[in-house]
Chains A and B, each alone.
Chain A
Amino acid sequence: MSTRTTQPPAPGSKTGGNKFDLRSGTLPRRFPAALLAGCAVVVAGVLTLFSSFGLILWALMTAVAYAAIIVATSVRVEGGRKAKDRLVTALVYGCFLVAMTPLVSLLYTVVVHGMDRFSPYFLTVSMNGVLPSMDAGGVYHAIVGTLAITGMATLLAVPIGVLTAVYLVEYAQGRIKKVITFFVDVMTGIPSIVAGLFVVALWIILFGPGHTNGAAGALSLTVLMIPVVVRSSEEMLRLVPRDLREASYALGVPKWRTITKVVLPTSAAGLTTGIMLAIARVIGETAPLVLTAGSSAVSINWNLFDGQMMNLPVFIYSQFRMGGAVNYERAWAAALTLVLIVMLLFILARLVGRFFSPKTR
């Protein structure tokens, strides 16, 4: 920069004094997009020529070629600082695409492999009396188990979680508030397998070794679910305007009626969203359920307190471990079922949050 101001303008230079025009030296607005398209076409052509066309290779080489060319041109036309900016822009877009690659690949594989066996038959039949290698059987018992275990975990975790959030927002002050908030954070970080081991340890003390049932699985999921519910409910309760509470107090309504009739209904949509996301989070937990609910049940079991209980994640895992072609097909189809359920919960949660939340302003 400083050198420019000290040098006299080169008379009759070819660039016509462009160097000293403040607005000079920018690439045309459409240039990056055009360059990217150009790179994509050329790279595709070259790869096809060497008959080694692969989607990932193509994307990778296009990105590298684009970054190299745009930086080179930018250095010539716009100078080093702008060139660095262009490079970072390319990198940042690249990061996002890199992250999307596994998501797309994973969903694509799950759908493609899962469709082989995914059918009404698969969803409505259990594995009772089916040998692992037989071309039959389904996941009905696992769906039943997932519903029962997750349902019980939800019934346990939601009251505790929401009430704790109410306590933290409406009642607690000073030291105890800090302590509980801190330990909720700590609880968020408990590895799922440790939650499973906790229930194993508890069950050994209560019932002796070797007891597995659905309730144990539900309890381990509860431990994982509580902190998630507390955190999200806390956020939602804090969004309720103070004016609403004070208006209620001014009318002489007791605090507990204010909370149950004003605060909770106002934040109901947000609470529901948080709870559904928490369910979506624990419904795919495998490790604690392998330890607590057992991994060998084949028949339909609605009783949480009696015997092993199969569920979708453990079904995927145990079929995967058996390792035959039919088992892999079952694992993929069950994975498709599970991903569909999780996605459904995820999308429903967003819709509830969007359409039923009260307008705060």
Chain B
Amino acid sequence: MTTTDAPKAAPPPTGKRRIGDVVFAGLARGSGLLILVILAGVAAFLVIQAWPSLLANTSNFLTDQSWEANTRENPSFGVAALAFGTVLAASIALLLATPIAIGIALFIVYYAPRRLAATLGYLVDLLAAIPSVVYGLWGMMVLAPQLVPVYEGMTRYLGWIPLFAGPSSTSGRTLLTAGIVLAVMILPIITAMSRDVFHQVPQGHREAALAMGATRWEMIRLAVLPFGKSGIVGGAMLGLGRALGETMAVAMILSPSLAISFNLLQSGNQTIAAHIALQYPEATGYGVSALIAAGLVLFTITLAVNMGARYVVARGNKESA
């Protein structure tokens, strides 16, 4: 992220500690620590509530594909299919969004007319402001029907690739559609991160390239992209984290099935988050506890991805400093 350099904390006035100072410092420190407590609470309560169903589970939680958890005894459920669908949908979104996001960031920073650049940036940010439930509505009612003929064409001409094997879905409510909508939703995140690093490219590097007679693209390839690499990777990973946890758009667009399928153009697959949202209202017996266990898996995956992203960005900042 763009943190402007902190002014060094000024030395506190010496003398006796005033009561107001003590109270205010305590309040500030307290809220800082409260955040740590909340996070610990999130992890702890999820584990506590997931535990009973994991103990009672009669099949392997990590490798089983079925979901028979709504019973009072001997539930049998696993997250294998769900975790697979989650990762697949997020990967599609990432593959589609990253190149476009880099293009948009380059456009806003280096190509767009200076006076328009800020406004165009706001337009991209607007994509992040639209609620996911509205994306879901749009994806299901507008985008999916539009994609049906496209998918038919893809199965006809690209059907030899296993990912695009036919027959394609007649409703368009497939994992690829969900992936496309997720891509739109994570575009602004990746764009914002890339824009930030592109702005930080030292002017000297760029002007040196241009002075050697480089075209604008050569300047970008030689000076901008190597410098911005860590920011782009970090932004992409943050986008991946968002796509992994996105619920509503997937729940509304995908017509799900609990099986591992590589076929992107047929209905099927399901993500963890969407599964929780769809199953929760009908959960009985061990159901809620099992869903919380699934949520714990999602939490772990996104945590790992986000921490990786922060690490990459932090390392990049150190290198360029």
Please list the residues of chain A having a beta carbon within 8 angstroms of any beta carbon in chain B. 81-82, 84-85, 88-89, 91-96, 98-100, 102-103, 105-106, 109-110, 113, 159-161, 163-164, 166-173, 176, 179-180, 182-195, 197-198, 200-202, 204-205, 209, 223, 226-227, 230-231, 234-235, 238-242, 245-246, 249, 252, 254-257, 259-260, 280-281, 283-287, 290-291, 295, 313, 316-317, 320, 328, 331-332, 335, 338-339, 342-343, 346, 350
Q: Which of B300-320 contact A (CB under 8 A)?
A: 302-303, 305-307, 310
Residues of A close to B129: CB separation below 8 A = 280-281, 342-343, 346
Tally of A-B residue pairs with Cβ under 8 A? 292
Q: Which residue of the partner chain, among A84, A191, A209, contacts B288 with CB atoms under 8 Å? A: A209
A169, B6: Cβ atoms closer than 8 Å? yes
Which chain A residues border B252 with CB–CB below 8 Å? 317, 320
Find chain A residues with CB under 8 A from B277 CB.
Answer: 193, 287, 290-291
16 inter-chain pairs at a CB distance below 8 angstroms, sorted by A residue, are: A92-B103, A92-B111, A93-B107, A96-B107, A109-B141, A172-B32, A186-B307, A194-B295, A197-B291, A198-B46, A202-B41, A249-B13, A286-B132, A291-B280, A320-B252, A338-B133
Q: Which residues of B contact A113 (CB under 8 A)?
A: 141
Chain A nearest Cβ from B32, distance in angstroms: 4
Complex alpha-carbon distance, A251 and B264, angstroms: 68
Residues from chain A with a CB closer than 8 A to the CB of B247 are 191-193, 286-287
Select which of B2, B34, B102, B130 is within 8 A of A106 by beta carbon: B130
| In contact, B48 and A205 (Cβ under 8 angstroms) | yes
In angstroms, how far is the closest chain A Cβ from the Cβ of B187? 6
- Bound-state CA distance A320–B249 (Å) is 12
Residues of B within 8 A of A190 (CB): 42, 245, 299, 302
Check B281–A241 contact: CB distance below 8 A: no
Q: A169-B6, A190-B299, A252-B13 are in contact. Are A99 and B132 (CB under 8 A)?
A: no
Q: Say yes or no: B29 contacts A167, CB within 8 Å.
A: yes
Q: Contact at A338–B302, with CB atoms within 8 Å?
A: no
Contacts of B6 in A (CB 8 A): 169, 238
Smallest CB-CB separation from B245: which chain A residue?
A191
Chain B residue, CB-CB nearest to A290: B277
Q: Is B259 an interface residue (CB 8 A)?
A: no
CB distance from B239 to the nearest CB of A (A): 11
Structural contact, B136 and A320, CB atoms closer than 8 A: yes
Chain B: interface secondary structure? helix
Q: Which residues of B contact A285 (CB under 8 A)?
A: 131-132
Q: Answer whether A332 and B137 are a contact pair too, CB < 8 Å, given A189-B238, A242-B10, A342-B131.
A: yes
From A167, A320, A346, B126 is in contact (CB under 8 Å) with: A346
Indicate whether A164 sits within 8 Å of B28 (C-beta atoms), given known contacts A193-B298, A200-B292.
Answer: yes
**Chain B interface residue count, Cβ-Cβ cutoff 8 angstroms:** 101
- Does B193 have its Cβ within 8 Å of any Cβ on chain A? no
- Our pick among A179, A193, A283, A328 for the contact of B295 (Cβ within 8 Å) is A193
The answer to whether B36 and A183 have CB atoms under 8 Å apart is yes
Quick one: closest A residue to B25, CB to CB? A171
Would you give the shortest CB distance from B250 to chain A, in whole angstroms? 10
Known: A193-B245, A328-B141, A343-B129. 6 other contacts (CB 8 A): A96-B120, A190-B299, A192-B247, A193-B276, A260-B24, A338-B133
- Which residue on chain A has the smallest CB distance to residue B43? A198
Which listed residue (A161, A166, A186, A257) contacts B39, Cβ 8 A?
A186
**Which 7 A-B pairs have CB atoms at the shortest separation, nearest pair first?**
A191-B245, A284-B131, A95-B103, A189-B306, A256-B24, A167-B28, A242-B7
In the complex the two chains form, is B132's CB within 8 Å of A255's CB?
no
Given known contacts A82-B215, A103-B127, A338 and B32 CB-to-CB distance under 8 angstroms: no
Report the Cα distance A160→B251, complex, angstroms: 32
A92-B4 in contact (CB<8A): no
Residue contact B28 to A109, C-beta cutoff 8 Å:
no
Enumerate chain A residues within 8 angstroms of B131, measured Cβ to Cβ. 283-286, 313, 338-339, 342
Instruction: Report whether B38 and A223 are in contact in the complex, using a CB–CB cutoff of 8 Å.
Output: yes
User: A84, A231, A242, A287: which contacts B248 (Cβ < 8 A)?
Assistant: A287
Smallest Cβ-Cβ distance to A113: which chain B residue: B141
Cross-chain contact A335 with B31 (CB below 8 angstroms):
no
Asked if B93 is at the interface (CB within 8 A of a chain A CB), the reply is no
Which chain B residue lies CB-closest to A257?
A: B20
Inside 8 A of B39's CB, which chain A residues have their CB? 183, 186-187
Q: Which of A106, A176, A255 has the most CB of B within 10 A?
A: A106
Q: A338 to B134, Cβ gap below 8 A?
A: yes
B96-148 at interface with A (beta carbon < 8 Å): 99-104, 106-108, 111-112, 120, 122-124, 126-127, 129-138, 140-143
Task: State how many angstroms separate the Cβ of A121 from the closest Cβ of chain B.
Answer: 22
Tell me the bound Cα distance from A205 to B48 in angstroms.
Answer: 9
Residue pair B35, A187 in contact (C-beta under 8 Å): yes
Chain B residues with CB below 8 A from A256, complex form: 18, 20-21, 23-25
Contact B111 A163 (CB under 8 A): no
Find out whether the CB atom of A182 lies under 8 angstroms from the CB atom of B310: yes
**A335 near B106 (CB under 8 angstroms)?**
no
Q: Which residue of A lies closest to B273 (CB)?
A: A193
- A231 nearest in chain B by CB position: B1
Contact B134 A105 (CB under 8 A): no
Select B100's contact among A99, A105, A106, A338, beta carbons within 8 Å.
Answer: A99
Is the CB–CB distance between A254 and B20 below 8 Å? yes
Interface digits, B243-273 against A, CB 8 Å rule (1 contact, 0 not)? Answer: 0111110011000000000000000000001
With contacts A204-B49, A241-B7 taken as known, whether A226 is within 8 angstroms of B141 at the C-beta atoms is no
Cα-based distance from A252 to B16 in the complex (angstroms): 12
- Is B184 interfacial (CB-CB < 8 Å)? yes
Chain A residue contacts of B143, Cβ below 8 A: 102, 105
Residue numbers in B under 8 Å from A227 (CB-CB): 35
Q: Does A185 lie within 8 Å of B46, measured CB to CB?
A: no
